Amino acid sequence: MARIQSELCGAVENTGLYSFTVLAVWPITHSFRVLAGSPVSARCQIELSPPKVVVEYGDPFSVNCSSSSDHIEGMGWESPEGGTGFMNGVSSLPLDVDSIALWSINAQCYVTLSDGQQCTERLPVTVYKTPDSVSMPQPSPTGPMVEGQKYRVQCAVAEVAPARHLVVQWHKGDEIFSVDEFNVSSVSPLNVSSVRELTAHRDDSGTRIWCEAMLNFLPAGPQLPPMQSKSHEVIVLYPPTFDELENETLKVPADGEVILNCNATGNPMPAYSWRCPQPVQQMVKQESENQLILTRLLQLPGTYTCTASNTQGNTTKYFTVVEAPMSGEGCSLILKPSRVVVGFGEPVSVSCEAARPVRVLGWESAISASHTQQDLSVQWKVDSLIDWIEEPICYGVFFTAPRQCEEKLNLVLYKTPDSVSIRPVNHTGPMVEGKEYQLLCEVQNIAPVQYLTLRWYREKTEVYNHSFSDLTSSSPVQVSSILLVTPTKAENGAQYRCVAELELGPEGPQPPPTVASEPLNASVYFPPTFLSPEPEVVDLTVGAEISLNCRAAGNPTPVYSWQSPHPTQETMENEAVLTSSSLLPGTYTCTASNALEKKSKQFIVKAKTKVMPLKDPCQKQACAIQTCLQANKYVESMCEAVIREMLRCCETQAAGNSICCSGFKDSKPTDDKRGQT
């Protein structure tokens, strides 16, 4: 007997069937088979039924291995669960597992042919576990979304295996807007997250968003039902948009009412404000409604301005109400244009025309007054208008009744502000998350103030606006506006601006003139925040490097400290990420701290259990035989005692429990020529 199996007692150069002879009352020859598996060949013809297994952790399964070869000596299953050992004289053998308790199982069927050749066929086994839970936290940042801004949504799948078969689908209403798969090699249960970025749009407001996770083993595996998270309603804030045209011109009817429709859609619901010709402004009672109804008493020609506003912005619509053509010989003075918007110091020119013969036609004005007795038109012209109280009036003296009438020019003289500035009130230095602060916007020398809107912006988003339509001064004034802010950590580094905008109507410059302040950079202090504050469990393989990631967001930037459960362990670096190959099992605590607060997180390091291969019950006796033969120069009579121990072990073991007993237990007596004289 030259050698025993290499995996049992040392290196073997050649595989095959080895024999030795025991000298007793009669010679007995025993054989040991040295296995060296090779891929399936045409001679082996191994078939697995089913060819692969997908099984839930803890469930049973059964697979049959068969061979149609005519030269088969026997076969067996090598498996950490349900292994059979070598079985002589069989061509079909099942692998039965009552309850799978491993996440990775290396099972293979091997067939030994009569010439000593051995073939193997590996059984692919996938062990799965459905998720403990599927959850979707509120989108970040939390609260209602703002149109145009980006938001982070996360789908958290707890304790699922294997993650490489996991599919996460994202739903918005009836639409699947994203599908996520995972390239993960681990076969044991993991916590997995799918993260997506959404851009808020008004069409999404009111829809519901959720995610669902499922293990996909199709087409050959089982079809498992998906698990859904709870859904969240999407609320999107967006500025008002008018239902109809932004500007309208309406004629005063001979009788009936004039309805100015300013209806707009927006979220939050828009609020409305109206600016009317002065006599009408004093009589209008429904200034906050989306419609203005002008009865006969209120049908004064001119420009009516409606502003729809909410927290996200505002938009303005202009209604120009004009007189219908007069029948008969009325007082027909026509101003061209009827409304004039001119900048301080700029030139202006307006024509007054008479629609019937006139004795005298002229302009009454503090500057550039004029008249004519021959023409049907007269011009009021100023090269540089700087008079804040100028109110030009065109008058006519006619031959027929009404013999005298006049038309006042709707003149708006404006000036953009000298400066717009922004500063904190009663505060210096960084702000602290959650506390309330005041920002002050000051506007110097602007006119006319009733056309002014101060708009507050955080980055590109309008957060507040302040109108001064209740003021009536026509000359330059100084005004201010206060914005209350309660900062969050998301606003750290954000810029606040204040913009002064003069909305002067369709006759004014387009777009409306604006002057912006210098930006105010917000520095917001907030305590450390871990991306995942829950304790983490980390598997430890001896000698392998692992990383414990304690990184936290905070302002000021957090500093880190680590506590080890092992006092004798080497001092750990005070870094956000602890990377080491010498950590011991236990609970490690990381503390992230800044000037506001301390936060701690635990990492539970567990030693990874290594599945040991099953030991052959007669390995010890087989190795003893080999050692004895080597020591006695392969004189088998010198090893009878250890051979009897081997026989005794093989007799007490079941037929398939020991590979070492393969070919030994059924050996027949043989003649030993060396023992005869």
Q: What angle do CA 144, 145, 149 make, to 5 degrees?
A: 155
* Residue 454 maps to a domain: yes
In angstroms, the Cα distances linking 292 to 307, 450, 491, 518 are 12, 20, 40, 38
pLDDT of residue 505: 87
Per-residue pLDDT, averaged over 6-32, amounts to 37
Choosing from 289, 323, 357, the residue where a domain stops is 323
- 3-42 exposure pattern, b = at least 16 Cβ within 10 A, e = fewer: bbbeebbeebeebeebebbbbeeebbbbebbbbebeebee
Q: How confident is the model at residue 56 (pLDDT cuts 50, 70, 90)?
A: very high
531 within a domain of the structure (yes/no)? yes
What is the pLDDT confidence band of residue 21, given thresholds at 50, 70 and 90?
Answer: very low
Instruction: Indicate whether 331 belongs to any domain.
Output: no
Instruction: Write the CB contacts of 142 (distance below 8 Å, at least 6 apart in sequence).
Output: none
* Contact yes or no for 72/111 (Cβ under 8 A): yes
How far is C-alpha 450 from the chain's CA centre?
45
CA-angle at 564, arms to 563 and 567, nearest 5°: 115
Chain segment 259-312, per-residue pLDDT in tens = 888 899 999 999 998 887 755 655 555 556 777 777 655 556 778 888 899 999
The three-class DSSP label of residue 376 is coil
326-368 pLDDT, tens digit each: 433 456 788 999 889 999 999 999 999 988 888 899 999 888 8
Select from 184, 209, 234 the last residue of a domain: 234
Residue 675 scores a pLDDT above 60: no
Cα 413 to Cα 246, 281, 355, 472, 557: the distances in Å are 24, 20, 28, 13, 53
Give me the CATH number covering residue 60: 2.60.40.10
**List of residues 6+ apart from 402 with CB closer than 8 A:** 330, 331
The pLDDT of residue 672: 41
The predicted pLDDT at position 375 comes to: 87
* pLDDT at position 547: 87
Q: Give the pLDDT confidence score for residue 665 in this predicted structure.
A: 53
What are the Cα distances from residue 458, in Å, to 270, 301, 420? 20, 39, 16
* Span of 14-23, 101-110, 630-639, 654-663 with lowest mean pLDDT: 14-23
CA distances 582 to 289, 541, 544, 579, 607, Å, are 73, 10, 8, 9, 12
Q: Which helix (H) or strand (E) holds 631?
A: helix 619-631
Domain hosting 602: range is 527-607
Phi, psi of 582 (to 5 degrees): -120, 15
Indicate if the pLDDT at residue 29 is higher than 90. Answer: no
At residue 13 the predicted structure's pLDDT band, cuts being 50, 70 and 90, is very low
443 assigned to some structural domain: yes
Q: DSSP states of 168-213 as a string? A: EEEEETTEEEEEEE------S-EEEEEEEEEE--GGGTT-EEEEEE
Q: Can you tell me which residue has the tokens 């083993």? A: 217
Output the 3-class SS for 508-567.
CCCCCCEEECCCEECCEEEEEEECCCCCEEEEECCCCCEEEECCEEEECCCEEEEECCCC
Tokens for 602, please give them.
Answer: 């635990």
Distance linking the first and last C-alpha atoms of the chain: 23
The position carrying tokens 């086994």 is 125
Distances 484 to 441, 456, 513 between C-alpha atoms, Å: 12, 11, 26
Closest to 76 (Cα-Cα) out of 132, 35, 104 = 35
Nearest to 118 by CA among 2, 8, 47, 16: 16
pLDDT of residue 209: 94
478 and 492 both lie in a single domain: yes
Same domain, 270 and 355: no
Tell whether omega for the bond before 556 is within 30 degrees of 0, i.e. cis.
Answer: yes
User: If residue 7 lies in a helix (H) or strand (E), which one and from where to where?
Assistant: helix 6-9
- Kindly state whether residue 336 falls inside one of the protein's structural domains: no
Whether residue 632 sits in one domain with residue 570: no
What DSSP assignment string belongs to 80-110?
TTT--EEEET-SEEEEEESS---SS--EEEE
Same domain, 307 and 374: no
Question: Under a CB-based contact definition with an 8 Å cutoff, are residues 364 and 371 in contact?
Answer: no
Contact 166, 157 (CB under 8 A): yes
Are 95 and 7 contained in the same domain? no
Statement to judge: residues 553 and 509 lie in one domain? no
| Domain identity same for 597 and 670 | no
Q: So what's the pLDDT on residue 332?
A: 77
Of the candidate ranges 102-106, 127-131, 281-285, 458-462, the one whose mean pLDDT is the lowest: 281-285
Structure tokens at 442: 């000051």
| Number of domains composing the chain | 7
Q: List residues bridging with 172 in a β-sheet.
A: 175, 209
Lowest mean pLDDT among 92-96, 161-165, 409-413, 466-470: 466-470
Q: Quick one: how many helices (H) and strands (E) in the chain? A: 4, 55
Positive or negative, the CA dihedral 554, 520, 236, 267 is positive
Angle at alpha carbon of residue 521, lines to 520 and 526, rounded to 5°: 135
pLDDT at 673 over 80: no
Instruction: Please indicate, yes or no, if residue 329 is contained in any of the structural domains.
Output: no
Residues 175 and 217 in one domain: yes
Of 472, 494, 522, the position where a domain reaches its end is 522
Q: Rounded to 5 degrees, what are φ and ψ at 136?
A: -130, 105
User: How far apart, in whole angstroms, are the C-alpha atoms of residue 612 and residue 608?
Assistant: 12
For residue 122, is it within any domain?
yes
SS3 269: coil
The per-residue pLDDT for range 607-656, each reduced to its tens digit, is 876 555 567 788 888 888 888 888 888 888 888 888 888 888 887 765 45
- Predicted pLDDT at 613: 58
Q: Over the stretch 426-467, which tens digit does the pLDDT of each residue have?
A: 889 999 999 999 999 999 999 999 899 999 999 989 999 998
110 vs 374, more confident: 110
Residues 450 and 517 placed together within one structural domain of the fold? yes
Side-by-side strand order, sheet with 236-242: 145-146, 236-242, 264-267
Residue 333 lies in a domain: no
- Give the CA-trace dihedral at 190, 194, 195, 198, to 10 degrees: -160
**Quick one: angle between helices 619-631 and 640-652, nearest 10?**
170
